[in-house]
């Protein structure tokens, strides 16, 4: 599968550092977030640039981190049922990665399993991907699993061919953003729901390819990496589970 147009990205989760480095939160009315929430009242919402909360063992982030971003509001009924309304201009470059994060903190070899299920509703317009973003605790390695994508978006690095792992067939790309190694797995056909076994992917990177060692997996994030959503688009995670043993 040919890659989409490449975006320059430094997708290290800037929630950890950006409050000290980037501009203050966007000044947006709370009513926007409420208007874009589902009919059943959300128990949390935020239009703050770095708005975040913890629910049911997951941490939610609004995470508007890219330059030239527009407005975005996040809502949640739980840590696993949430969504965003985003209105980012039709320009290049990633604007945001709203996501739900589960902390793992286990080495690859100590994991007996690491899996997830997802169910999303995404727009037919705009430029974005729906993806897992998996990090080691030192943030030296980033593993992205794109389950669907639309518009002018694409992975970093060079093609490594296709591989079938964790219940899906992926096109694999290997690159670096200057701060960490990035391994991107793009599902060869779009999927809005399904399950993925993540551990075989990590073992393939470690054992078969030798691209990293026995890293401690810190965060498993799942969300929407939005480049453009002009006019305002809704992205909804209907259900998400991340489990490990």
Two tokens, residue 195: 């399950």
Residue corresponding to tokens 């993925």: 196
Domains of the chain: 14-244 (2.60.120.180)
The DSSP call for residue 200 is: H
Q: Which of 222, 238, 9, 200 is nearest to 132 (CA)?
A: 222
Burial string for 152-169 (b: 16+ CB within 10 Å, else e) reads ebbbbbeebeebebbebe
Torsion of CA 126, 48, 217, 173, to 10 degrees: 20
Predicted confidence pLDDT, tens digits, the chain (245 residues): 333 333 334 344 443 333 333 333 333 333 333 444 454 579 999 999 999 999 999 999 999 999 999 999 999 999 999 999 999 999 999 999 999 999 999 999 999 999 999 999 999 999 999 999 999 999 999 999 999 999 999 999 999 999 999 999 999 999 999 999 999 999 999 999 999 999 999 999 999 999 999 999 999 999 999 999 999 999 999 999 999 99
Report d(CA 60, CA 235) in Å as an integer.
Answer: 14
Among candidate residues 116, 119, 101, 46, the one with its CA nearest the CA of residue 76: 46
């Amino acid at each position: 599968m040919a890659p989409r147009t490449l975006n320059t990205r430094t997708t290290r989760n800037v929630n950890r550092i950006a409050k000290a480095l980037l501009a203050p939160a966007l000044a947006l009315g709370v009513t926007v977030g409420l208007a874009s929430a589902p009919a059943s009242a959300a128990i949390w919402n935020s239009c703050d640039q770095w708005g975040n909360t913890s629910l049911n063992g997951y941490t939610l982030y609004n995470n508007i981190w890219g330059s030239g971003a527009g407005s975005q509001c996040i809502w949640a009924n739980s840590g696993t049922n949430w969504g965003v309304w985003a209105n980012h201009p039709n320009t290049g470059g990633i604007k945001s990665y709203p996501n739900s994060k589960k902390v793992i903190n286990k080495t690859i070899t100590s994991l007996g399993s690491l899996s997830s299920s997802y169910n999303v509703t995404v727009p037919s317009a705009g430029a974005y991907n729906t993806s897992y973003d998996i990090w080691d605790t030192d943030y030296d390695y980033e593993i992205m699993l794109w389950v669907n994508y639309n518009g002018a978006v694409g992975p970093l690095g060079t093609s490594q061919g296709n591989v079938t792992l964790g219940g899906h067939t992926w096109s694999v790309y290997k690159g670096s953003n200057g701060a960490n190694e990035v391994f991107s797995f793009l599902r060869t056909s779009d999927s809005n729901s399904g399950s993925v076994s993540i551990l075989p992917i990590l073992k393939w990177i470690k054992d078969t390819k030798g691209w990293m060692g026995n890293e401690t997996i810190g965060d498993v994030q799942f969300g929407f990496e939005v480049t453009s959503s002009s006019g305002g688009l809704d992205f909804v995670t209907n259900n998400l589970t991340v489990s490990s043993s």
